[in-house]
Chain A
């Protein structure tokens, strides 16, 4: 019985951290599909999600309001970032854009450091109580919030991509920007939208994970790297793959640190990642395809 309880606790913990990775991976994939570039700023948006929520919490003293405002704000930052850094690039090949996002990441991190400081920021979880006990299983309530909010976001994203003309237009641009522009879809505006959505996914991830982990201005790169690994695991550019990759990575990490050693938490997840990529270079769900410039 005790073993089962531990197992359930680990699964819930793994799924909640995995949800965070899934959201970050989703952001990577949305931008990758539209540009062929790796967006190094993705992790910074996660960091900003936590930092900005913490700052707004100080103003509103309502976690819910702070989280919603912060994620909308991070989404808007994604839009603006695209306009001022990606849009002006004259020859937007994937490598150039990737390098531009490295610069964007550094600037984002510095701005957060200057305006919000170097101190770790945090706020209480979304429920009054931190832990609840169901049938002897102790669960952090924030973990449940993370899983539920991620699920809701994924459903909304699915709905957006499958059931709205705008979502379909975005898919069309990611499939073939030129053909899309010749059926009247403004590729450049869709790219801006893609960055906005990616930032939104990152912002949500940061806003909901911070009550568990706290957040500092320099944590973006690590979070981004984890999300990137999840995206690779699922197959880069594959949206459902991002979700599976993220959850899988979260579970591996949680179980690894419990049964082996938490010192090797990151080493274990990256070893598994390497193993999978050796066997399936395109990721679990990826197909080898030509990257469009």
Chain B
């Protein structure tokens, strides 16, 4: 049913079909199917424990699905290791930040460049002399990304010394440095001030305007409603509803799911 609610299959960047994940007897995600169109921002919302993070983990390659298919731009990826999926164009940020705190701000972004132009480290070792000019080039590219979010003047600081909001921006830029086609954002506004959340929203909107497809998990409804072209609602790992922000807002099943759980969302 979910599949049909989306328009023609042309230009789907991501297709999830019949995806399930069981932890023991509990189905964290059960038979979930949806698509993300090229250039679209799609939000996944649902009460806590709905299976959003498990879903992200399966798409990024942290958790293997119990069954189902994940297709990125026509290529099946559900059995691929995480780093190869990054290579194929999946970028991700985390609900709980995972930056390299002991490395500099700039190095965090440079490291994100790794997959590109590196067909393997043996190759990289053999090209070490040219790798030095390559490193310089990648530093410049990384600086450009930092400038985009106003972190250029902090480039040589230890990443762990940044404020929480800046660390979130850094993590986003690191994900961007991997050259993603689809960005998975796990609660980008969580823990941010109102101004910080607005800023994050603007940046994501800009990235999307540049053509980047986004899959977004977020509890901040203002952000979800403003950014999303399409919203998928799940509860207990199962499909509840899917549609435009307006359609979802008035959907009785969605209202029931949220009221029933009495969530903070």
Chain A contacts to B: CB under 8 angstroms:
160, 163-166, 168-169, 171-172, 175-176, 178-187, 189-190, 193
Q: Is the CB of A166 within 8 A of B103?
A: no
Q: Is the CB of A184 within 8 A of B114?
A: yes
Among A165, A186, A189, A190: residue with most chain B CB under 10 A: A165
Q: Is the CB of A166 within 8 A of B121?
A: yes
Supposing A168-B103, A175-B100, A178-B62 touch, asked if A185 and B111 sit within 8 A by C-beta, the answer is yes
Q: Is the CB of B135 within 8 A of A182?
A: no
Please count how many residues in chain B sit with their CB below 8 Å of the partner chain's CB atoms: 39
Please give, as numbers and ranges, the residues of chain A lying within 8 Å of B87 by CB-CB distance: 184
User: Is chain B's interface secondary structure helix, strand, loop, or mixed overall?
Assistant: helix
Partner among A164, A181, A189 whose Cβ is within 8 Å of the Cβ of B135: A164
Please give, as numbers and ranges, the residues of chain A lying within 8 Å of B101 by CB-CB distance: 175
Q: Is the CB of B132 within 8 A of A189?
A: no
Partner among A163, A168, A184 whose Cβ is within 8 Å of the Cβ of B83: A184
Nearest CB of A to B165, in Å: 19
Instruction: Please tell me if B197 contacts chain A, counting CB pairs below 8 Å.
Output: no
6 CB contacts below 8 A, A to B, read A164-B132, A166-B118, A168-B111, A176-B98, A181-B83, A182-B94
Instruction: Please tell me if B112 contacts chain A, counting CB pairs below 8 Å.
Output: yes
Q: Is the CB of A165 within 8 A of B134?
A: yes
Instruction: Please tell me if B190 contacts chain A, counting CB pairs below 8 Å.
Output: no
Please give, as numbers and ranges, the residues of chain B lying within 8 Å of A183 by CB-CB distance: 86, 111-112, 114-115, 174-175, 177-178
Q: Is the CB of B60 within 8 A of A186?
A: no
Q: Is the CB of A168 within 8 A of B107?
A: yes
Q: Is the CB of B132 within 8 A of A172?
A: no
Q: Is the CB of A165 within 8 A of B135?
A: yes
Partner among A171, A172, A180, A189 whose Cβ is within 8 Å of the Cβ of B121: A189
Supposing A181-B83, A186-B81 touch, asked if A165 and B125 sit within 8 A by C-beta, the answer is no
Q: How many A-B residue pairs have CB under 8 A?
A: 98
CA distance A163 to B106 in the complex (A): 12
What 0/1 readout, one digit per residue, does chain B (123-150) give for beta carbons within 8 Å of chain A?
A: 0110010011011001000000000000
Please give, as numbers and ranges, the residues of chain B lying within 8 Å of A189 by CB-CB distance: 120-121
B125 nearest CB neighbor, chain A only: A166
Q: Is the CB of B103 within 8 A of A175?
A: yes
What 0/1 readout, one digit per residue, does chain B (29-71) give for beta carbons within 8 Å of chain A?
A: 0000000000000000000000000000000111000000000
Q: Is the CB of B86 within 8 A of A164?
A: no
Q: Which of B75-97 contact A (CB under 8 A)?
A: 81-84, 86-87, 92, 94
Supposing A172-B100, A175-B103 touch, asked if A185 and B124 sit within 8 A by C-beta, the answer is no
Q: Is the CB of B132 within 8 A of A182?
A: no
A171 nearest CB neighbor, chain B only: B103
Please give, as numbers and ranges, the residues of chain A lying within 8 Å of B114 by CB-CB distance: 165-166, 168-169, 172, 183-185
Supposing A164-B131, A164-B132, A169-B111 touch, asked if A184 and B103 sit within 8 A by C-beta, the answer is no
CA distance A160 to B121 in the complex (A): 13
Supposing A175-B100, A178-B62 touch, asked if A163 and B135 sit within 8 A by C-beta, the answer is yes
A159 nearest CB neighbor, chain B only: B132
Nearest CB of A to B109, in Å: 10
CA distance A182 to B96 in the complex (A): 14
Please give, as numbers and ranges, the residues of chain A lying within 8 Å of B94 by CB-CB distance: 179, 182
CA distance A144 to B111 in the complex (A): 37
Q: Is the CB of B112 within 8 A of A184?
A: yes
Q: Is the CB of B83 within 8 A of A186?
A: yes
Q: Is the CB of A179 within 8 A of B99?
A: yes
Instruction: Please tell me if B110 contacts chain A, counting CB pairs below 8 Å.
Output: yes
Please give, as numbers and ranges, the residues of chain A lying within 8 Å of B178 by CB-CB distance: 183-184
CA distance A225 to B38 in the complex (A): 57
Q: Is the CB of B62 within 8 A of A165?
A: no
Q: Is the CB of B135 within 8 A of A187?
A: no
Q: Is the CB of A171 within 8 A of B135?
A: no
CA distance A169 to B134 in the complex (A): 14
Instruction: Please tell me if B21 contacts chain A, counting CB pairs below 8 Å.
Output: no
Nearest CB of A to B95, in Å: 13
CA distance A179 to B135 in the complex (A): 21
Please give, as numbers and ranges, the residues of chain B lying within 8 Å of A176 by CB-CB distance: 98, 100
Please give, as numbers and ranges, the residues of chain B lying within 8 Å of A187 by CB-CB distance: 83
Instruction: Please tell me if B219 contacts chain A, counting CB pairs below 8 Å.
Output: no
CA distance A169 to B111 in the complex (A): 6
Instruction: Please tell me if B113 contacts chain A, counting CB pairs below 8 Å.
Output: yes
Please give, as numbers and ranges, the residues of chain A lying within 8 Å of B107 by CB-CB distance: 168, 171
CA distance A51 to B216 in the complex (A): 58
CA distance A110 to B174 in the complex (A): 47
Nearest CB of B to A87, in Å: 13
Nearest CB of B to A128, in Å: 32
Q: Is the CB of A182 within 8 A of B128?
A: no
Supposing A171-B100, A179-B98 touch, asked if A166 and B131 sit within 8 A by C-beta, the answer is yes
